[in-house]
Amino acid sequence: MKTTVTAIALTSVFSLALAACNSPAADKPAAPADTAPVAEQAAQQPASAPVSAAEEEAAMAGRSARAVFPVGFRGNWDYSDDGCAKDESGTRFAITENQIKGYEDTSTLTALEALDDLTIRVVLDNQSSDGDVTLTQTLRLSPVAGINLRIEQKGETVLAHRCDKV
């Protein structure tokens, strides 16, 4: 009789073990016994930079979220009234898709915010012989075919003239 009771007990244990293996909970790995609280784990994780809506939209569409100057701002410009008439001018600069290239410096666009149809605020990484700095500027196109560009920086405004035909 003792053998029958032992056989029944072993069969019951075997059945329970088999049932546990087939349950959905068995698919999940067991949590380690020595886990830190969630807040402590979160504090140990490196913080990620916030993602702008444009970056998120670009990522969802599978394209780069790299900032680019709107087409109306691109082209050749000169700070001097007659600079565009000269073959070479030390006050001329070109705005490309993502850079402003001047006589002695190059600024790479890192961020852009459209304020209205003719105005943008930009953050630029500027490299020049004087050193590397980060600039924040507001660029405003004139409403008359974008023939002038007002560049505001640190409370000062400079006017540039478009050298390209419009």
* Residue numbers of the domain that contains 22: 2-61
CA 40 to chain centre: 28
- Do 115 and 144 lie in one domain? The reply is yes
Lowest-pLDDT choice from 1-15, 83-97, 104-118, 130-144:
1-15
Strand pairing report for 156-162 and 148-153: antiparallel
- Do 54 and 101 lie in one domain? The reply is no
pLDDT band at residue 71 using 50, 70 and 90 as cut-offs: very high
Number of domains in the chain: 2
- Do 9 and 77 lie in one domain? The reply is no
Determine contact, residues 103/90, Cβ cutoff 8 Å.
yes
More confident residue, 67 or 37: 67
Please provide the DSSP assignment of the chain as one string: -HHHHHHHHHHHHHHHHHHHHHSGGGGSPPPPSSPPPHHHHHHHSPPPPP--HHHHHHHHHTS-------GGG-EEEESSTTGGGSSS-TTEEEE-SSEEE-SSEEEEEEEEEEEETTEEEEEEEEEETTEEEEEEEEEEE-TTTT-EEEEEETTEEEEEEE-S--
CATH number, domain with residue 92: 2.40.128
- Do 98 and 142 lie in one domain? The reply is yes
- Do 56 and 94 lie in one domain? The reply is no
pTM of the model: 0.60
Residue 82 lies in a domain: yes
Residue 66 lies in a domain: no
- Do 105 and 84 lie in one domain? The reply is yes
Looking at 61, 81, 111, the residue that finishes a domain is 61
- Do 156 and 75 lie in one domain? The reply is yes
- Do 75 and 130 lie in one domain? The reply is yes
Mean pLDDT for all residues in the chain: 74
